[in-house]
Amino acid sequence: MTTTYTPATRTPTTYTPLPIAPEVLAQLRVADDAGQPCLPFVDHEGGDPLRCCLRPVAPGERIALVSYAPLRRWAAETEAAPGAYDEQGPVFIHADPCAGPSRERDGYPFSRAGALRTVRRYSAEGHIVGGRLLEIPDEEEQGFDAAIAEAFADPQVALVHVRAVEYGCFHFEVRRPV
């Protein structure tokens, strides 16, 4: 089950970026989705994106870099069968439990004008049914809203993953509004 949050400053018509759920984080802090043990370290510089609380690492925080398979995790919840579309990659998480995203945070995480993102679309079966490149505009939230609305305009789309183009890193997911 994925934990959702709705920051007080967001309007009800925008989409909710989801962090990695606390129960999944607990598993990843033991062994990641590649079967490797979690190896925590102190990040003295900070700045990398945390997928547990959807913000950058602050200097001096204890974190871990783990392999995460977001589509596989979603498929286990929904009984989808992504087959060859399943993939895993590295993400940063807090090495210890955290409070998750701040309720005061607004906008989309890891968003800065000019950055490139892929907005990948998945069907209820867990198959890729399209995607698009998004160059984040100056009006960051409106750019994400439009790209995600475009994805969900296709009735086949059940799930959207947002990834960085440069490294292919998973940033967050958005599920079809109910």
pLDDT given for residue 11 in this prediction? 40
Q: State both tokens at 147.
A: 């790209």
pLDDT given for residue 105 in this prediction? 65
- 3-state SS, residue 26: helix
pTM: 0.88
Mean pLDDT, residues 46-57 taken together? 95
The residues spanned by each domain of the chain are: 22-94, 116-175
Closest residue by Cα to residue 90 from 163, 176, 1: 163
Express as a percent the part of the chain with pLDDT over 70.
92
Residues 6+ apart with CB under 8 A from 78: 124, 126, 158
CA distance 159 to 32: 22
Decide if pLDDT at 4 tops 60. Answer: no
pLDDT, one tens digit per residue, over 136-153 is 999 999 999 999 999 999
Mean pLDDT, residues 109-119 taken together? 94
Write down the mean pLDDT value for the chain: 90
Residue 6: band (very low, low, confident or very high) from pLDDT cuts 50, 70, 90:
very low
- Do 69 and 33 meet the contact criterion of CB atoms below 8 Å apart? yes
Q: What is the CA radius of gyration of the chain?
A: 16
Express as a percent the part of the chain with pLDDT over 90.
84
CA angle 147, 148, 154 (to 5 degrees): 100
pLDDT, one tens digit per residue, over 59-81 is 999 999 999 999 999 999 999 99
- 3-state SS, residue 69: coil
* Residue 107 CA from chain centroid, whole number: 14
Length of the chain measured in residues: 178
- Write the secondary structure of 139-168 as one string of H (helix), E (strand) and C (coil): CHHHHHHHHHHHHHCCCCEEEEEEEECCCC
